[in-house]
Chain A
Amino acid sequence: DAGVTQSPTHLIKTRGQHVTLRCSPISGHKSVSWYQQVLGQGPQFIFQYYEKEERGRGNFPDRFSARQFPNYSSELNVNALLLGDSALYLCASSLEGTSNYGYTFGSGTRLTVV
């Protein structure tokens, strides 16, 4: 069975540009979460979606937005990119909406903003 898949794996963007990151959860999983991991730090929670509804939001500016589609895949959008947005963006899925038993993470999208 395929795990959590993310695309693209790497990309380079210029300050001020927009980026869209994509995630497909494990088959049957209805919850998708997004995390940002800056080099040398632990992942920071950005969003959680369950059954296409936003169930949680972290302390990130409005430049960050996300959505979940009927097939439970998800997109993370970041507008007006800043140098500080350079990070590994991780998608995680779970069967239900709770985080209490952990999530399965994808390998991430490494975003570099120049």
Chain B
Amino acid sequence: QKEVEQDPGPLSVPEGAIVSLNCTYSNSAFQYFMWYRQYSRKGPELLMYTYSSGNKEDGRFTAQVDKSSKYISLFIRDSQPSDSATYLCACSFTGGGNKLTFGTGTQLKVEL
């Protein structure tokens, strides 16, 4: 079993829709949670990070972490075709060897 699970999609939505992307994790030591966006043939770009449980909002993006259920989410409001990319969740913890543990990524396509 992978430490971080993520539905690979693809997920296709119409422009303007609210998108919900999710990951589950098994390692209860994880404390820090990140979302990256990766365009084709590019490196991952950090979108948001959160510490422990709670919500964090940045423009059209909202990240949620529920440590009790080991569930992390990214919501994208008013989705745009430029949001079409692969979204990767990543987790880490202090003392965890300074590494990020990634999910497999969810491919998102926002259609006109």
The interface stretch among A14-22, A64-72, A75-83, A94-102 is A94-102
Total A-B pairs in contact (CB under 8 Å)?
Answer: 79
CB distance from A107 to the nearest CB of B (A): 5
Interface residue? B102 (CB, 8 A): yes
Q: Are B96 and A99 in contact (CB under 8 A)?
A: yes
Query: Shortest beta-carbon distance, B58 to chain A, in Å?
Result: 13
CB neighbors of B among A73-111 (8 A): 90, 92, 97-108, 110
Q: Which of B49, B93, B96, B103 contacts A102 (CB 8 A)?
A: B49
User: A42 touching B43 by the CB < 8 A rule?
Assistant: no
Mark interface residues in B71-112 (1 if CB within 8 Å of A CB, else 0). Answer: 000000000000000001010111011111111110000000
CB of A107 within 8 A of CB of B88, answer no
How distant is B2 from chain A, measured CB to nearest CB, in Å?
Answer: 9
